[in-house]
Structure 1
């Protein structure tokens, strides 16, 4: 697939989609006086290949936030919101997004298919979140989508505890579906948890709250180097 978002993530040394959102799921401030320009600069300095911008009001976001981040960012942007209409896709592209979140568990099958097709026509990468194999089976054109396992439940506004075992359990199904870039998203709270998911085979991780609260972005892992040719011995993760 031809996608700047996917190419950036697959080619990244630190394949983390670093997220900008004003509040966590419980309403706590995550910005701490920093401007969008401050956050973009810190994330890009840490090697972020892509950024996620939460425009959903549950997390204190607005469409204007996406536009402001786009003015400062030099990497592809994901708009995270509840996209349900085609006109939202046009707005996302005009504001500077390269990818848009589509939540499989909240969209009827026909709507998900329509939005995936429409996003691709707009030049946007569909970033489709799932929580189960049943939801994965409903994703159309998986080879043209980033498919992300949400370790939390959006139906509870992600106020539940994260279940990282979900990502580990669903990875084989994501690979079989043919997505070029399986992603684990939400609830990844520590560098060691991130390292385990990358070692398992995820090509990208979406991390928000933990990075916004992190005092050391360089402590987060880089991607596992490819296996040494014919040795069967993997190189160590760089933490």
Structure 2
């Protein structure tokens, strides 16, 4: 099944899903007086192919933020929240989301498969989040889905340091799920690490807190582009 979210990400020159999240895991105000429309405009200027909107209360979000963002952009938008029932999928669809987060750690295998199937039927891309090999191995068929490795731990509300090595370790297993769109998410601050993950085979990255804090978003993006190009350039012999 075609997906505007997957197509936009996999076809992007700079495949970074840029996130709107009102607060960090530690309660820091990440919007800093900026309106959602201002942040969206900044992300669009930086070439974002897709946006992510955190509607979970942990991070100060709500569905009103999703509606506001969808209303001021043509980019595909992911809703990030703890979705556990089909009613939430219908709300996401009605508000204009293109993709919806499904967290493998919270959902039994049968429930996850049912929600993914229902999301696809509603025209939503399931953005299935995993954090360990057991979760990846238990996934249903992921054709048409994004499979995203969360580098942080939701059990502690994503506080503390990220384990980007998790994305490196899980990539082979994620590739075996049938998804054409593996994503590494959370805790990606260094453009060098971002370039490494993309060059290793990730179709996209999800970056939020660092981009919201960045004084010069364009500099981060340009450094990412330069490092990707340098890493993929052929080396001279002799």
Query: Do both share a fold (TM > 0.5)?
Result: yes
* Structure 1 residue 186: Cα displacement: 0.4
Secondary structure in 1 matching 2:25 = coil
Segments of structure 1 that go 5 or more residues without pairing to the other structure are 226-232
Asked if the contact 1:128/1:145 (under 8 Å) is kept, the reply is yes
The answer to whether the 8 A contact 1:190-1:210 is kept is no
SS in 1 for 2:176: helix
How far off its partner does 1:234 sit?
Answer: 3.1
Which whole-Å deviations, capped at 9, do the CAs of 1:68-127 have from their partners, x for residues lacking one?
A: 000101100000000001010000011110000000011111111110111011110000
- Which is worse superposed, 132-141 or 52-61? 132-141
Q: Which deviates more from structure 2 when the two are superposed, residues 36-45 or residues 210-219? A: 210-219
Choose 190-199 or 165-174, whichever is displaced more.
190-199
In structure 1, the partner of 2:45 is 45
Match of 2:30 in 1: 30
Q: How many residues align?
A: 230
- Separation in structure 1 between the aligned mates of residue 156 and residue 136 of structure 2, nearest angstrom: 20
What is the aligned partner in structure 2 of residue 139 from structure 1? 139
Runs ≥4 residues deviating over 6 A = none
Deviation at 1:193, TM superposition (A): 1.6
Aligned to 1:229: none
Which residue matches 1:234?
232
**224 and 181 in structure 1: CA distance in 2 versus 1, 3 angstrom threshold:** farther
Which residue matches 2:109?
Answer: 109
TM-score (norm 1): 0.92
Partner of 2:17: 17
Matches within 5 A, 1:184-203: 184-203=184-203
Structure 2's unaligned 5+ residue stretches are: none
Partner of 1:143, secondary structure, is: coil
TM-score norm. by structure 2 comes to 0.93
Separation in 2, partners of 1:138, 1:99: 21
